[in-house]
Structures are given as C-alpha cells and as structure tokens.
Amino acid sequence: MARYDLAAAAASLTRTPLGRRAHDLWRFRELLPVRREEFIVSLGERPSPILDLPRVNEQIGVAALHCKDEAALPGGSFKARGAAVGLSRARELGVHSFAMPTNGNAGSAWALYAARAGMQATIAMPVQTPAVHRMQCALAGAKVTLVRGTISDAGRVIARAVAASGIYDASTLKEPYRIEGKKTLGFEIAEQFAWDLPDAILYPTGGGVGLIGVHKAFLELHALGLLGPRLPRFFAVQSTGCAPIVEAWRSGRDASEAWHAPATVAFGINVPKAIGDFIVLRIVRETGGGAIAVDDARILEYQHMLVEREGVLACPEGGATLAALAQARRDGTIGAHERVLIINTGSGAQYPDVPYPALQTIEADDGTQLPAHL
C-alpha cells in the first residue's frame, strides 16, 4: 500500500489552510499518490453531499441518520474516485494503456477518465453487466470484451491478457493507487462531519476497496492530528445472493471462500471472492463493527424507500446499506443512541431494470374527461 511522509504532510495539511483550498478531489493532495499536478486527469469532481434522512429515520430510529450520496460523480458512481486518482498516477508513471475487469461502474469510470486523458482502456465484464455500462464503456472508446461468467472470470481473462502483452494491470488491488482514490471518500466524510466521525458506517462491500480506503483515510488523518483516535464501527454489507465476507465473518474466519453461483440485483457487490477480503474482515473486527447480509427483496424495498421518502435516487447497493441498518436495529447490533452514516455508492439511474410502481397510459387528451387518478 502507498505510504506518505506524514510528518511533512502534517505541516501543510492543517485545518486553517485546508479551509482555503478548492473543494475538489485533490484537496488532501499530500495524502494522494500523484506528485506532479500536470498529470492529474479531472472531470470536475466535487465533494459529494452528506444528506440527513429524517423521514427514513422515523422508521429506523437512531440518534442521527446520514447518507453520503455518491450519485453525482462522473459516470454516476463513487468508482470515479478510484479512477481519477489511479489513472492519474498511472499516467504519471508513463502508462498509456491499461486493462481491467469490471462489474460495470468501475469500467464506466475508468473508460471515461481514459477518454479524458487520451489513454486506451481494455475492459472485460460479465455478459450480464447492465446495458448502461456496456454503452458507457463502448462510447468512451474502450476495448470491451463480454465474458460469460462472473467478475472473477473476467479477472482471469484480464490476467491472461496482462501476462501475454505486459499491458498495465489496473485491476482492483493489483495496483496500489485505486484505493488511494477511494480514500477521498473518507477525507470528505471527516471534514463534512467537522472532524467528529459518526459512530457507525455501513458500506456496500464488493471488492472492499471503498471500505478499506475510508478506513485508511481516517488512520492517516489521525496520524496528522486532524482526527481523534476513535474510529466508527465499520459494517460491510452484502446481498444474501453473494455474501462471502458475511459468511466468513459469521464463522470467525480471517478470509472468505469463493461464493458459489453469485447473483444479486446490486451488481456492484456481486463479487464472489474479494482479493482484499482479509483486510475488510480485520477492519470490521478491529472497529467493533460487523458484516450483514440482506436479501434482494429487502434491498429493493429500502432503495425505493430512499427515493420515495427522501428524494435520494439511490442505487440498490445504497438500498442494501439501509436494509442492513434496519436489520441491525431490529437485532440490536446498532443501538438507538448511535449516529449512523450509510453510503449510497451510485445513482439509481444506472439501474433502469429494477421494478418500479405501475404507470398509467392514457390516450392523447381530447379535452373531455380526465383519468380517475388525476
């Protein structure tokens, strides 16, 4: 993992000068791997909002409930963070083309940033990846291969291509910089919570990079003296259709076993075996958190609740975190006194195929009678 000169960073990264810096992805640049600004590839990222969820919380019942909403990032998900930083660093290292597997959102983000930088992206994705992502990657000029199988199968295709051609491997946790980009999520949370972190964070966990990144961000900010020693309890949320980390957590293991026949509407967390599973498990254990699985029906129910009651156009993965919180409240894992943050990792607009309430069609208005529901 990337390490920084924290003593030097502590000198320039203090609260007051930070207050004068631009609100962009590179606000905590001393803790990011790109050395020279001219290599930064930007699509104008801004800090994502933290929204309170008062109407949803009437039902959930915690001391405070917030959502970090990543929907507006380029490409429609928090994957933009890893792409912006990982790709900028690759560019600084002289890379012009790279290869990676994806379940959709990461591919979209990396393809867009590659287009921005004039780099060539080679992407393998499961044939079932939603059309939105196939479209975004193809439009952005990536070389896309559809694989009959899961993201792990796509990963094996990329590993072979990398071995054969020597192309830069941008796969999750195969290069150390993508996770550095995910840290920006943690930096923003710390600053937006005025350096007083919530008690619990629920994160929809696929490869686990986001959770690991947020945790690393907090540790580094602590080392800099910007945060106290108390960390939030981290909860990894998965679907019962693909819950290797939850299964490992329940049986007290340090690493997960590959999930057989994974399937969930929340395709961003449809990862049968995460390379960094042991790090995720260590973090949830050390912070007194846990791992929670919720089924797809609940995921869709709570996704809908976020949209309907709060206007947050959540993705199913975001819905999963709320469903997991409801479950954790019911069984007492999370208490009524806790301040809780859920992460909505992407936009619901990326998932046009989720079920939604039936709509009524009428004939063009002839000026006579309006339909009953109007």
Residues near ligand PLP (CB under 6 A):
77, 79, 105-106, 204-210, 268-269, 315, 317, 345-346
Q: Could you give the CA distance from residue 359 to residue 264 in angstroms, rounded to a whole number?
A: 25
- What is the rounded distance in angstroms from the CA atom of residue 253 to the CA atom of residue 278? 9
Distance CA(295)–CA(82), nearest Å, equals: 28
- Smallest gap from Cβ 197 to ligand PLP, in A, equals 19
User: Within 10 Å of residue 356's Cβ, how many Cβ atoms?
Assistant: 11
Q: How far is the CB of 280 from ligand PLP (least distance, A)?
A: 8
Decide whether 55 or 282 has the Cβ nearer to ligand PLP: 282
57 or 105: whose CB is closer to ligand PLP?
A: 105
Please report which residue ranges of 13-102 form alpha helices under DSSP H: 15-20, 54-60, 79-92
Q: What share of the chain is helix, strand, coil (3-state, %, to 5)?
A: 45, 15, 40
Task: Give the nearest distance from C-beta 201 to ligand PLP in angstroms.
Answer: 13
Least distance between ligand PLP and beta carbon 85 (Å) = 14
H or E element, residue 101: strand 97-101
Q: Which helix (H) or strand (E) holds 196?
A: none
Question: Closer to ligand PLP at the Cβ: 101 or 207?
Answer: 207
Of 71 and 334, nearer to ligand PLP (C-beta) is: 71
Nearest-CB residue to ligand PLP?
Answer: 268
**Nearest residue (CB) to ligand PLP, 56 versus 299:** 299
CB of 182 to ligand PLP, least distance (A): 6
Nearer to ligand PLP, 53 or 274 (CB): 274
Going by C-alpha positions, the residue among 118, 129, 66, 64 that lies closest to residue 95 is 118
First-residue to last-residue Cα distance in the chain? 58
Residue 211 CA to residue 289 CA, distance in Å, equals: 12
Nearer to ligand PLP, 205 or 256 (CB): 205
Min dist. Cβ of residue 266 to ligand PLP (A): 7
Q: Cβ of residue 108: shortest distance to ligand PLP, in angstroms?
A: 9
Orientation angle between helical segments 209-223 and 277-286, nearest 10 degrees: 50
Element (H, E) at 75: none
